[in-house]
Amino acid sequence: MAKQVDYLIIGQGLAGSLLGWELMQAGCRIHLIDNQKENASQVAAGLINPITGMRLVKQADIETLLPCAQQTYHRLGQFFGQDFYIAKDMLRIVRNQKELHTFQQRSQNKAYLDYLVPELQIPPTSLHAPLGTIRQKKTGYLLTLKLLNCLKDFFQQKQCYQASQFDYQALQLNSGIRYQNITAKKIIFCEGYQAIANPWFKYLPFQLAKGEILTLTATSPLPDAIFNYGRWLIPLNRLQLRTGATFEPHQLDALPSTQGKQQLLEALIHIMPSLNTAHLIKHQAGIRPTTLDKAPFIGLHPQYDNVAIFNGFGAKGSLQIPFYSRHFTQYLRKQSPLIATVDCQRYANSKAPPA
Ligand SMILES: Cc1cc2nc3c(=O)[nH]c(=O)nc-3n(C[C@H](O)[C@H](O)[C@H](O)COP(=O)(O)OP(=O)(O)OC[C@H]3O[C@@H](n4cnc5c(N)ncnc54)[C@H](O)[C@@H]3O)c2cc1C
């Protein structure tokens, strides 16, 4: 007997998981297939940081994206009886006079007051920060792996999770879709970087970037803040920390490298020399699904309106995916038009999509 659902979702990273969750909340029937390869979401630090880069630029749409992310992780936390989002201020080490000058300008700007404490901060004694630190507010991190594991258990209990590789050749497209014993109105690909092998969407301009992250145990207690110094340091508890991430657009394997480890350790020990006695306990790598214009790829294939994509969240999945999961659910249920800047059809004419 065929199993009938509304949406067949391929990929159980953060994108497929939160979209599946939103669709179920809206009363839709889903089925999820995931090949259980190590994915970007499992490696990610889950950082949410509204003000980024040396120019201290506020993320576009932060006033829309951040409350939605906070609300989604809070609701999921209540549902599963766990904390998934850890709100924690970030101390940004001022790296040069130019950054100091930019900070002075930003701290006069009302639009930044919710995100930046306007006075320079005295750094903790363990920190090498001769020009001082800037305290950023509304920052934090998502415990992504913990959330994905809870959602996977949930989908398994609802009997809508299948651990297997999706076989593109076996997809039948008619008015709806059929795959093995499943029929659905639409298929939605949430494959992260593996979308570059997808016959319907590989024409989209992904610009993937590898990243590496270290987990270490310190030998003396860590200050209780996230640190940003071009790289970042997240204290997971009094002694354990994660540091990352490298950004490597040219080497697209998901393998930890000696070079990546060295870069991260050098930067870390430079800002906190006492960490030269820390023990490395994990070294991970993953590939971010970044895109040419830095905006996600969401929507329907230009020729097949039963084939969709929800991808391209780059280095900002924890912030963006909750809002766009809700938005795409509303679009699929014909409750709102898709925001044009994220619609994958913005590239419909750049190269002929596959027939
Ligand atoms: C080192 C690193 C650090 C990062 N740090 C942060 C951070 O601090 N903050 C932040 O917001 N973001 C961060 N990111 C980015 C974040 O990981 C991504 O934005 C987000 O996780 C992307 O989720 P996704 O579900 O689209 O892709 P993925 O997590 O890659 O999930 C895709 C899933 O689809 C499965 N799949 C693919 N193809 C198939 C197929 N044919 N059949 C079956 N299954 C399939 C994959 O196995 C995988 O499980 C980081 C990424 C990396 C690599």
Domain boundary among the residues 288, 316, 331 is at: 288
| Ligand 1 lined by 319 (C-beta under 6 Å) | yes
11 Cα to the center of ligand 1, angstroms: 9
146 Cα to the center of ligand 1, angstroms: 14
> Crossing angle of helices 317-332/14-25, nearest 10°?
40
Domain boundary among the residues 242, 272, 288 is at: 288
pTM exceeds 0.95: yes
User: Residue 45 and residue 108: Cα distance in Å, rounded?
Assistant: 31
Q: Does residue 220 form part of some domain?
A: yes
Q: Which amino acid is at 6?
A: D
One domain for residues 55 and 120: yes
One domain for residues 60 and 137: yes
pLDDT digits (tens, 9 = 90+) for 106-137: 999 999 999 999 999 988 888 999 999 999 99
Q: Does residue 122 form part of some domain?
A: yes
Q: What is the CATH number of the domain that holds 236?
A: 3.30.9.10
pLDDT on residue 175:
81
pLDDT on residue 176:
87
pLDDT on residue 51:
95
Locate the ligand 1 atom nearest the alpha carbon of residue 198 and give its number. 41
Ligand 1 atom 5: residue of nearest CA: 44
Angle at 336 between CA 331 and CA 338, to 5 degrees: 60
Q: Which amino acid is at 218?
A: A
**Number of structural domains found in the chain:** 3
Q: Does residue 354 form part of some domain?
A: no
- What would the two tokens of residue 269 be? 């020990």
One domain for residues 189 and 305: yes
pLDDT on residue 53:
87
| Ligand 1 lined by 211 (C-beta under 6 Å) | yes
Q: What is the CATH number of the domain that holds 332?
A: 3.50.50.60
User: Which residues of the chain are under the pLDDT cut of 70?
Assistant: 350-355
One domain for residues 130 and 63: yes
In angstroms, what CA-CA distances link 343 with 16, 242, 298, 338, 348? Answer: 17, 34, 5, 6, 10
Q: Which of 86, 318, 320 to mutate to test the pocket of ligand 1 (most atoms within 8 A of CB)?
A: 318
| Ligand 1 lined by 140 (C-beta under 6 Å) | no
Look up the domain containing 114 and give its range: 47-142
State the number of CA atoms in the 13 A half-sphere of 142 facing the CB.
Answer: 29
One domain for residues 200 and 213: no
- What would the two tokens of residue 88 be? 């924690």
One domain for residues 214 and 277: yes
33 Cα to the center of ligand 1, angstroms: 15
Q: Does residue 8 form part of some domain?
A: yes
Q: Does residue 353 form part of some domain?
A: no
Q: Does residue 52 form part of some domain?
A: yes
| Ligand 1 lined by 20 (C-beta under 6 Å) | no
One domain for residues 40 and 155: yes
Locate the ligand 1 atom nearest the alpha carbon of residue 211 and give its number. 1
171 Cα to the center of ligand 1, angstroms: 23
Q: Does residue 355 form part of some domain?
A: no
One domain for residues 264 and 122: no
Domain boundary among the residues 88, 123, 142 is at: 142
13 Cα to the center of ligand 1, angstroms: 5
| Ligand 1 lined by 289 (C-beta under 6 Å) | yes
